[in-house]
Structure 1
Amino acid sequence: MRTIKLGSSTLEVPAIAVGCMRINSLDKNEAEHFIQTAIEEGANFFDHADIYGGGECEEIFADAIHMNAAVREKMILQSKCGIRKGMFDFSKEHILNSVDGILKRLKTEYLDVLLLHRPDALVEPEEVAEAFDILEQSGKVRHFGISNQKPMQIELLKKYVKQPLVANQLQLSITNANMISNGINVNMENDSAVDRDGSVLDYCRLNDITIQPWSPFQYGFFEGVFLDNDKFPELNQAINEIANKYGVSNTTITIAWLLRHPANMQPVTGTMNIDRLKDCIKASDIQLTREEWYSIYRAAGNILP
């Protein structure tokens, strides 16, 4: 699979990340087969979070592959922390305790990447900086990033945190593309012109932060998948026509649409279906034309001024 540099780091990662939020839907043998297949296909970047399955997903992952030093060298592991029941928590104590729990469940001595999961309104960036320093110096975390954060929140962290923030995981799909639309509809009096994220797309490009789109097949906030959905007839027709041209599935074209953007994004898949994962992986070999990209964009109901 094609690889990219993760943010400003020297870490080479696959263009597609494998999300493990639903791995607890598989039994141990299914999980082992899924993970091994992903690695064989070059998709060895696995995305976790301490809240997925209440930590169970990380345990299932490690048990399924019989985690040891030799297995660990074959993969890149990312996890997220900061969400607690009824609150968000970026305190130094919580970050450090969370990482210890993640490492124990994953049966590894280090994370390649740690992301702060959801913005904490009560964040004290000095504490985050202290936690990151301890995690880096102890060798428990090698790279750091954020998730669902806008530019000024990132700037506040950067004032205190000395480590580069290499990734920002954000909701983005063909139907949830405001971070793209507001840049197209500059100075226009329509809903697409509303900047809901502080121009986070341009900010991340300017600051060498890799955007990791999550829920690339979902519309709304986990309302459902738009592929093969009667609510999106024009979009599915456009995607299917292009898929037929390339001889691939509509899943492949959906991921290829994100990869075509010059921001050099790293989409996070969520499927536990091996065939669908392979379809996602095929997208790294497809370069949509400008005409194809815009035809899909418009078919989703996105407007051009």
Structure 2
Amino acid sequence: MKTTLPLAKHLPNVSRLAFGCMGLGGSWDNAPVDAEHLRQANEAVDAALEIGINFFDHADIYTRGKAEQVFGQILEQRPTLREAIYLQSKCAIRFADAHNPQRYDFSKHWILQSVDNSLKRLNTEYLDVLLLHRPDPLADPEEVAEAFEQLHSSGKVRHFGVSNMHIHQLQWLQHHLDMPLVANQIEISLLRHDWLDQGVLAGTPQSQHVGFVPGTIEHCQQHGIQLQSWGSLCQGLLSGRDVQDQPDTVKQTAAKVTVLAEHYDVSREAIVLAFLTRHPAGIQPVIGTTHTSRILACGDLEKVTLSREHWYELYLAARGRALP
């Protein structure tokens, strides 16, 4: 079963996987980018390209701007690369400083300033996709619409989306926009399975313990909004990381992943990702590892489509309890 990515309507031939660049650029402080950071970034990008990834996901805050900066250095060294890939970045999270608290900022001024800074760091004239990183309770949707229109008309951003939003926030924002929201990046994975539980447990007393807002997945499917999954590799817990101190559900799921990896003759990373891509929503997993061996292991995804029975075996292991 191969599901077409909704994003392909806007970005032709976009890759099934996205490479998340949060780990590039070194530490989350003001230490400068150095030659070792550039070497690591080049190796990670090359590994991603080798397995067919052409979609690279950034945010203005990743390693406090250094992830974009080091990627911009790569583009400067390899000028033909820019037109061969798609670049996505995010804005709206602002860190606490000496005078201000941590906050989210959907103001027109901050969105425009953030994009200009990202373009400068990335050494590019445009973003293929801009996402609003986390919902701002003080957002004025008409102001957001003005910022988006200015960025689009100037050629600085081609498409827009959001991150970490549920169905009602998506509908609220889209109502004020003249352009479609093309993506919603949220934390969904085999271990973080509330996104599945909210549907499976509908109408049962257990549903009150599910934190995922019902209808979000279906809304994105209905309106062609690309679901992107961050945390999709479960921080390595199912593909080799020591799970001795983890809950039994994690241990059982890791064991099941290993068995299925042997059955399909693929990497454990591929099984973890295949759980997401088997879903008919056309989920685009974002892989955040910078280890080249793990990046390359993700390439095995193209070799496997989980059977319905194997998909449910994984889901049940992760749930740690029977279905209702």
Distance 2:6 2:202 in 1: 30
Cα pair 1:17 1:46 within 8 Å, conserved: yes
Distance 2:6 2:319 in 1: 32
Residues 2, 22 of structure 1: CA spacing in aligned structure 2 closer, same or farther, 3 A cutoff?
farther
Distance 1:63 1:214 in 2: 25
- Number of equivalent positions: 301
Cα pair 2:92 2:132 within 8 Å, conserved: yes
Give the match's secondary structure for 2:319. coil
> Counterpart amino acid of 1:136?
H
Shift of 1:280: 1.4
Per-residue CA distance 1:167-206 (angstroms, 9 max, x = gap): 0000011111111111011111115763532421111111
Q: Which of 188-197 and 110-119 deviates more?
A: 188-197
Distance 1:36 1:237 in 2: 31
Give the match's secondary structure for 2:81. helix
Verify: 1:73 aligned to 2:74, yes or no: no
Verify: 1:6 aligned to 2:7, yes or no: yes
Distance 1:16 1:42 in 2: 8
What is the match of residue 38 of structure 2? Answer: 28
Shift of 1:257: 0.7
Shift of 1:9: 2.6
Shift of 1:12: 3.2
> Where does the alignment leave 5 or more consecutive residues of structure 2 unmatched?
27-35, 96-101
Residues 32, 65 of structure 1: CA spacing in aligned structure 2 closer, same or farther, 3 A cutoff?
farther
Cα pair 2:237 2:254 within 8 Å, conserved: no
Distance 1:201 1:193 in 2: 18
> Where does the alignment leave 5 or more consecutive residues of structure 1 unmatched?
none
Verify: 1:234 aligned to 2:248, yes or no: no
> Counterpart amino acid of 2:180?
P
Distance 2:233 2:82 in 1: 29
Shift of 1:285: 3.1
Give the match's secondary structure for 2:25. helix
> Counterpart amino acid of 1:304?
L
What is the match of residue 323 of structure 2? Answer: 304
Distance 2:215 2:222 in 1: 11
Distance 1:187 1:2 in 2: 29
Give the match's secondary structure for 2:161. strand
> Counterpart amino acid of 1:273?
H
Give the match's secondary structure for 1:37. helix
Cα pair 1:186 1:193 within 8 Å, conserved: no
**TM-score w.r.t. structure 1 length?**
0.93
Give the match's secondary structure for 1:27. helix
Shift of 1:226: 4.5
Distance 1:11 1:95 in 2: 26
Aligned-pair identity (%):
41
Per-residue CA distance 1:128-170 (angstroms, 9 max, x = gap): 1000000110000011100000111111111111111010000
Cα pair 2:91 2:131 within 8 Å, conserved: yes
Verify: 1:166 aligned to 2:169, yes or no: no
Verify: 1:196 aligned to 2:212, yes or no: yes
